Amino acid sequence: MENKKFLTILKIGGNIIDNPTELKQFLSDFSKIDGYKVLVHGGGKSATKMAQSIGLVPQMIEGRRITDAAMLEVVVMIYAGQINKDIVAQLQAYNTNAVGFSGADGNLMLSSKRNHPTIDYGFVGDVQKVNTTLLGTLINSGIVPVFCAITHDGKGQLLNTNADTIASELAIALSEFFDVTLNYCFEKPGVLFDAADDNSVITSINQELYATLKADGAIHSGMIPKLDNCFNSLQKGVQKIKIGHHRMLNDTKALYTTITL
Protein backbone atom coordinates (compact mmCIF):
# COMPACT_ATOMS: atom_id res chain seq x y z
CA MET A 1 0.00 0.00 0.00
CA GLU A 2 1.37 3.41 -0.87
CA ASN A 3 1.93 5.89 1.93
CA LYS A 4 -0.92 8.29 2.40
CA LYS A 5 -0.16 11.99 2.52
CA PHE A 6 -0.66 13.86 5.78
CA LEU A 7 -3.78 15.97 6.19
CA THR A 8 -4.46 18.26 9.16
CA ILE A 9 -8.10 19.01 9.95
CA LEU A 10 -8.60 21.78 12.44
CA LYS A 11 -11.82 22.79 14.14
CA ILE A 12 -12.19 26.15 15.85
CA GLY A 13 -15.07 27.35 17.99
CA GLY A 14 -16.66 30.53 19.24
CA ASN A 15 -13.87 31.47 21.65
CA ILE A 16 -11.58 32.24 18.70
CA ILE A 17 -14.23 33.52 16.29
CA ASP A 18 -15.61 36.04 18.77
CA ASN A 19 -12.18 37.62 19.28
CA PRO A 20 -10.84 39.34 16.10
CA THR A 21 -7.27 39.60 17.47
CA GLU A 22 -7.14 35.91 18.42
CA LEU A 23 -8.73 34.93 15.12
CA LYS A 24 -6.10 36.89 13.18
CA GLN A 25 -3.31 35.24 15.17
CA PHE A 26 -4.87 31.82 14.75
CA LEU A 27 -5.26 32.25 10.96
CA SER A 28 -1.63 33.35 10.70
CA ASP A 29 -0.59 30.20 12.62
CA PHE A 30 -2.93 28.03 10.57
CA SER A 31 -1.47 29.39 7.31
CA LYS A 32 1.97 28.18 8.44
CA ILE A 33 0.92 24.55 8.93
CA ASP A 34 2.77 22.47 6.34
CA GLY A 35 0.97 20.24 3.90
CA TYR A 36 -2.67 19.59 3.20
CA LYS A 37 -5.18 21.09 5.59
CA VAL A 38 -8.86 21.78 6.19
CA LEU A 39 -10.46 24.29 8.56
CA VAL A 40 -13.89 23.83 10.16
CA HIS A 41 -15.41 26.70 12.07
CA GLY A 42 -18.33 27.01 14.45
CA GLY A 43 -20.44 30.05 14.97
CA GLY A 44 -19.65 32.03 18.05
CA LYS A 45 -21.99 34.63 19.45
CA SER A 46 -22.73 36.62 16.28
CA ALA A 47 -25.70 34.46 15.28
CA THR A 48 -27.33 34.91 18.69
CA LYS A 49 -26.61 38.65 18.59
CA MET A 50 -28.03 38.97 15.09
CA ALA A 51 -31.12 36.95 16.05
CA GLN A 52 -31.70 39.25 19.01
CA SER A 53 -31.17 42.42 16.98
CA ILE A 54 -33.86 41.41 14.48
CA GLY A 55 -36.21 40.43 17.30
CA LEU A 56 -36.05 36.63 17.15
CA VAL A 57 -36.69 34.81 20.41
CA PRO A 58 -34.47 31.72 20.80
CA GLN A 59 -36.62 28.60 20.77
CA MET A 60 -35.47 26.12 23.39
CA ILE A 61 -36.86 22.63 24.11
CA GLU A 62 -35.40 20.68 27.03
CA GLY A 63 -32.41 23.02 27.10
CA ARG A 64 -31.68 22.51 23.40
CA ARG A 65 -31.82 25.33 20.90
CA ILE A 66 -34.32 24.71 18.11
CA THR A 67 -33.43 25.93 14.64
CA ASP A 68 -36.70 27.25 13.27
CA ALA A 69 -36.91 28.72 9.74
CA ALA A 70 -36.05 32.25 10.90
CA MET A 71 -33.09 31.05 12.96
CA LEU A 72 -31.84 28.94 10.05
CA GLU A 73 -31.77 32.09 7.87
CA VAL A 74 -29.67 33.79 10.53
CA VAL A 75 -27.15 30.97 10.97
CA VAL A 76 -26.76 30.60 7.19
CA MET A 77 -26.09 34.34 6.87
CA ILE A 78 -23.64 34.46 9.72
CA TYR A 79 -21.84 31.11 9.39
CA ALA A 80 -21.72 30.75 5.58
CA GLY A 81 -21.67 34.49 4.87
CA GLN A 82 -20.03 36.73 7.42
CA ILE A 83 -17.69 34.37 9.30
CA ASN A 84 -16.76 32.04 6.44
CA LYS A 85 -15.92 34.79 3.93
CA ASP A 86 -14.03 36.83 6.51
CA ILE A 87 -11.86 33.80 7.33
CA VAL A 88 -11.31 33.02 3.63
CA ALA A 89 -10.30 36.62 2.82
CA GLN A 90 -7.88 36.69 5.78
CA LEU A 91 -6.32 33.35 4.78
CA GLN A 92 -5.86 34.63 1.22
CA ALA A 93 -3.90 37.56 2.68
CA TYR A 94 -1.61 34.92 4.27
CA ASN A 95 -1.16 33.28 0.84
CA THR A 96 -3.30 30.30 1.78
CA ASN A 97 -5.62 29.40 -1.09
CA ALA A 98 -8.75 28.99 1.01
CA VAL A 99 -12.17 28.23 -0.46
CA GLY A 100 -15.22 28.49 1.78
CA PHE A 101 -17.80 25.72 1.68
CA SER A 102 -21.12 24.72 3.11
CA GLY A 103 -22.16 21.11 2.68
CA ALA A 104 -24.41 22.19 -0.20
CA ASP A 105 -21.46 23.44 -2.27
CA GLY A 106 -20.38 20.64 -4.58
CA ASN A 107 -22.74 18.42 -2.56
CA LEU A 108 -19.75 18.07 -0.24
CA MET A 109 -21.75 17.06 2.81
CA LEU A 110 -25.21 15.59 2.62
CA SER A 111 -27.36 15.45 5.77
CA SER A 112 -30.81 14.37 6.76
CA LYS A 113 -33.12 16.52 8.86
CA ARG A 114 -32.97 15.14 12.38
CA ASN A 115 -35.85 12.87 13.16
CA HIS A 116 -36.18 12.64 16.94
CA PRO A 117 -39.05 10.70 18.59
CA THR A 118 -40.02 13.51 20.99
CA ILE A 119 -38.15 16.72 20.11
CA ASP A 120 -38.51 18.60 16.81
CA TYR A 121 -35.10 20.21 16.50
CA GLY A 122 -36.19 22.10 13.40
CA PHE A 123 -33.74 22.52 10.56
CA VAL A 124 -30.90 20.52 12.07
CA GLY A 125 -28.97 18.04 9.94
CA ASP A 126 -27.29 14.76 10.80
CA VAL A 127 -24.46 14.01 8.39
CA GLN A 128 -25.08 11.14 5.96
CA LYS A 129 -22.37 11.35 3.34
CA VAL A 130 -19.20 13.24 2.43
CA ASN A 131 -18.35 13.76 -1.24
CA THR A 132 -14.77 12.57 -0.76
CA THR A 133 -14.02 12.35 -4.49
CA LEU A 134 -14.51 16.07 -5.11
CA LEU A 135 -13.06 17.08 -1.74
CA GLY A 136 -9.97 14.92 -2.25
CA THR A 137 -9.44 16.41 -5.72
CA LEU A 138 -9.73 19.96 -4.38
CA ILE A 139 -7.31 19.29 -1.51
CA ASN A 140 -4.81 17.55 -3.80
CA SER A 141 -4.92 20.57 -6.12
CA GLY A 142 -3.73 22.80 -3.27
CA ILE A 143 -7.05 24.26 -2.15
CA VAL A 144 -7.60 24.68 1.60
CA PRO A 145 -11.29 24.03 2.29
CA VAL A 146 -12.90 26.15 5.00
CA PHE A 147 -16.16 24.58 6.18
CA CYS A 148 -18.95 26.33 7.99
CA ALA A 149 -21.49 24.38 10.03
CA ILE A 150 -24.20 24.33 7.34
CA THR A 151 -25.13 21.25 5.31
CA HIS A 152 -28.04 20.39 3.01
CA ASP A 153 -30.48 17.53 2.44
CA GLY A 154 -30.05 17.29 -1.35
CA LYS A 155 -33.65 18.40 -1.83
CA GLY A 156 -32.98 22.13 -1.59
CA GLN A 157 -33.05 22.49 2.19
CA LEU A 158 -30.08 23.90 4.10
CA LEU A 159 -29.54 22.45 7.59
CA ASN A 160 -27.74 23.66 10.71
CA THR A 161 -25.14 21.06 11.70
CA ASN A 162 -22.81 20.71 14.67
CA ALA A 163 -19.30 21.89 13.75
CA ASP A 164 -17.55 19.21 15.86
CA THR A 165 -19.52 16.56 13.97
CA ILE A 166 -18.64 18.13 10.61
CA ALA A 167 -14.95 18.01 11.56
CA SER A 168 -15.12 14.36 12.66
CA GLU A 169 -17.16 13.26 9.62
CA LEU A 170 -14.69 15.00 7.30
CA ALA A 171 -11.79 13.36 9.16
CA ILE A 172 -13.34 9.88 8.92
CA ALA A 173 -14.24 10.23 5.23
CA LEU A 174 -10.88 11.73 4.22
CA SER A 175 -8.91 9.07 6.10
CA GLU A 176 -9.63 6.90 3.06
CA PHE A 177 -7.15 9.05 1.08
CA PHE A 178 -5.03 10.78 3.73
CA ASP A 179 -3.25 10.12 7.01
CA VAL A 180 -5.52 12.42 9.03
CA THR A 181 -4.79 14.29 12.24
CA LEU A 182 -7.87 15.99 13.64
CA ASN A 183 -7.34 18.98 15.95
CA TYR A 184 -10.08 20.39 18.14
CA CYS A 185 -9.18 23.86 19.37
CA PHE A 186 -11.20 25.12 22.30
CA GLU A 187 -10.90 27.49 25.27
CA LYS A 188 -9.10 24.96 27.51
CA PRO A 189 -5.51 23.70 27.09
CA GLY A 190 -6.74 20.11 26.72
CA VAL A 191 -8.65 17.37 28.53
CA LEU A 192 -8.08 18.07 32.24
CA PHE A 193 -7.75 15.78 35.26
CA ASP A 194 -9.36 18.60 37.24
CA ALA A 195 -11.72 20.87 35.28
CA ALA A 196 -10.85 23.77 37.62
CA ASP A 197 -7.11 23.48 37.04
CA ASP A 198 -5.78 24.42 33.58
CA ASN A 199 -2.40 22.97 34.54
CA SER A 200 -3.83 19.45 34.94
CA VAL A 201 -3.73 18.62 31.20
CA ILE A 202 -3.86 14.89 30.40
CA THR A 203 -1.22 14.85 27.66
CA SER A 204 -2.21 11.46 26.33
CA ILE A 205 -5.38 9.45 26.66
CA ASN A 206 -6.46 6.11 25.25
CA GLN A 207 -9.62 4.06 25.68
CA GLU A 208 -8.32 2.30 28.78
CA LEU A 209 -7.38 5.51 30.62
CA TYR A 210 -10.64 7.10 29.45
CA ALA A 211 -12.66 4.26 31.02
CA THR A 212 -10.80 4.64 34.31
CA LEU A 213 -11.14 8.45 34.45
CA LYS A 214 -14.81 8.25 33.55
CA ALA A 215 -15.39 5.69 36.34
CA ASP A 216 -13.50 7.96 38.80
CA GLY A 217 -15.65 10.93 37.80
CA ALA A 218 -12.58 12.96 36.72
CA ILE A 219 -13.99 13.16 33.20
CA HIS A 220 -17.66 14.06 33.18
CA SER A 221 -20.51 16.08 31.62
CA GLY A 222 -19.68 17.85 28.28
CA MET A 223 -16.31 16.13 27.88
CA ILE A 224 -17.92 12.67 27.62
CA PRO A 225 -19.74 13.10 24.29
CA LYS A 226 -16.66 14.96 22.94
CA LEU A 227 -14.35 12.05 23.79
CA ASP A 228 -16.84 9.36 22.72
CA ASN A 229 -16.95 11.16 19.40
CA CYS A 230 -13.13 11.16 19.24
CA PHE A 231 -12.80 7.42 19.91
CA ASN A 232 -15.50 6.74 17.35
CA SER A 233 -13.50 8.73 14.76
CA LEU A 234 -10.29 6.88 15.62
CA GLN A 235 -12.07 3.54 15.27
CA LYS A 236 -13.25 4.64 11.84
CA GLY A 237 -9.77 5.39 10.51
CA VAL A 238 -8.65 8.78 11.79
CA GLN A 239 -4.98 8.46 12.73
CA LYS A 240 -4.66 10.89 15.63
CA ILE A 241 -6.73 13.49 17.46
CA LYS A 242 -5.47 16.45 19.45
CA ILE A 243 -7.53 18.62 21.78
CA GLY A 244 -6.18 21.89 23.10
CA HIS A 245 -6.04 25.64 22.97
CA HIS A 246 -5.11 27.04 19.55
CA ARG A 247 -1.83 28.30 21.00
CA MET A 248 -0.61 24.70 20.59
CA LEU A 249 -0.18 25.58 16.90
CA ASN A 250 2.67 28.01 17.45
CA ASP A 251 3.80 27.57 21.07
CA THR A 252 5.97 24.47 21.25
CA LYS A 253 5.74 24.52 25.07
CA ALA A 254 1.94 24.53 25.12
CA LEU A 255 0.39 21.36 26.48
CA TYR A 256 -2.46 19.59 24.73
CA THR A 257 -4.15 16.20 24.83
CA THR A 258 -3.38 13.54 22.27
CA ILE A 259 -6.07 10.90 21.85
CA THR A 260 -5.33 7.47 20.44
CA LEU A 261 -7.12 4.14 20.60
Q: Is 152 in the site for a copy of itself (CB under 8 A)?
A: yes
User: What is the separation of C-alpha 37 from the centre of its chain, rounded to a whole number of angstroms?
Assistant: 13
Mask: binding to a copy of itself, 87-106, rule CB under 8 A, as x and -?
Answer: -xxx-xx---xxxxxx-xxx
Exactly one of 126, 129, 154, 255 binds a copy of itself (CB under 8 A); which one?
Answer: 154
Distance CA 161, CA 146 (A): 15
Among positions 33, 70, 77, 255, the unique one binding a copy of itself when judged by CB under 8 A: 77
Is 119 a binder of a copy of itself (CB under 8 A)?
A: no
Evaluated on CA atoms 16, 255, 251, 97, the torsion sign reads negative
- Return all residues near 182 (Cβ < 8 A) that are at least 6 apart: 9, 10, 11, 167, 168, 171, 230, 233, 238, 240, 241, 242
Cα 229 to Cα 46: distance, rounded to the nearest angstrom = 26
CB of 29 or CB of 86, closer to a copy of itself = 86
Q: Flag whether 114 is marked binding.
A: no
Q: Shortest Cβ distance from residue 145 to a copy of itself (Å)?
A: 10
Based on the shown chain and the rule CB under 8 A, indicate whether residue 255 belongs to the binding site for a copy of itself.
no
Q: By CB under 8 A, name the one of 33, 66, 70, 143 that touches a copy of itself.
A: 143
> Concatenated DSSP letters for 19-57?
-HHHHHHHHHHHHT--SEEEEEE--TTHHHHHHHHTTPP
Restricting to residues 170-199, name those near a copy of itself by CB under 8 A.
Answer: none
Which residues contact a copy of itself by CB under 8 A?
50, 53-55, 73, 76-82, 84-86, 88-90, 92-93, 97-102, 104-107, 134, 137, 141, 143, 150, 152, 154-158
